[in-house]
Amino acid sequence: MNEIKVFCPATIANLNCGFDVMGLCLDGIGDQMVLRKVAEKGIKITKITGAELPYQTEKNVAGVAGLALLNSVDIDFGFEIEIHKKIKSGSGIGSSSASAAGAVFGINELLGKPFTKHQLVDFAMKGEAIASGCEHADNVAPCLLGGFTLVRGYNPLDVIKIESPSELFAVVLHPHIEVKTADARAVLQPTIPLKNAIIQCGNLGGLIAGLYTNDYGLIGRSLQDVIIEPMRKHLIPNFDKVKNAAMINGALGAGISGAGPSIFALCKGENSTQKIALAMQENFKNTKIAFDIHISKINDEGTKII
């Protein structure tokens, strides 16, 4: 096999109570990448559609992630990469992580799978750091592994995959404005009150327990953020109205997807999800800002060959 095409799914990170440690993988929303072996060593970005991104390997998320992997193997050939972006940069649903994950997944496949998907997360994080300013796995882990993921620790990297309850759906409302991850991090405070840390720890534990036991009520009670959301929500027009509309119409929980500006809701059942999506978009329309609305099951497979 000398050439493959891969699907790199969008993701929702943080999930309210899991800042920098929780994420989930979306279905049907994502980028496509074509990777091929070439005689020349290294990585060359040959084509980019759907976004204005650098072609220089060392400045491109996919290029940096791919080079991180190549530095761990001994080969006498290289790779070309085409990137076809469907996830808008700065959308809050893992645009940069999709590029990083797709690059390392595709190269690994063409090398005969010397690394597991869990091992690929570490390489993908190197590319993610180009976009966000720091290495974090809450998007690249679910993008590669699928389902929900928990990043238990970074030294060493310890990622746990959690399969999704079967009736769980996600709605994502993506306003056509950009909130850069670095800017969204800049509004955060370096310290938090002890009482908020306790609440957040309880919610994170509750969310994980709810996922393992298929307890939708517990999942909903746990999807609360008393630390990050209060500091970031002013960056997103009509955030409170959209979130309240989702909750009134039956969402298990709603919040900021990643660093924003996308707003997500988790829902039980497809019919309920459609109703919640309609309520969210009706409450965003008066901003006069263009937006997309996505409805998705949870993708338990992650990045894959197409």
Query: Could you give the residue numbers annotated as active site?
Result: 128, 181
Closest CA to 61 of 37, 85, 92, 40: 85
Count other Cβ atoms within 10 Å, centred on residue 143. 35
Closest CA to 184 of 138, 231, 130: 231
* C-alpha to C-alpha distances, 290 to 16, 116, 233, 240, 241, nearest whole angstrom: 25, 40, 18, 18, 17
Q: Find how far residue 207's CA is from the centre of its chain.
A: 18
Q: What angle do CA 145, 146, 148 make, to 5 degrees?
A: 105
Whole-angstrom distance, CA of residue 283 vs CA of residue 243: 9
Whole-angstrom distance, CA of residue 245 vs CA of residue 275: 10
> Three-class SS of residue 75?
coil
> Three-class SS of residue 48?
strand
Beta strands in 64-156 (DSSP E): 78-84, 148-154
* DSSP structure string for 216-262: HHHHHHH---SSSHHHHGGGSTTHHHHHHHHHHTT-SEEEE-TTSS-
Would you say 273 and 227 are in contact if contact means Cβ atoms under 8 Å apart?
no
Please state whether 155 falls in left (phi above 0), alpha (psi between -120 and 50) or beta.
beta
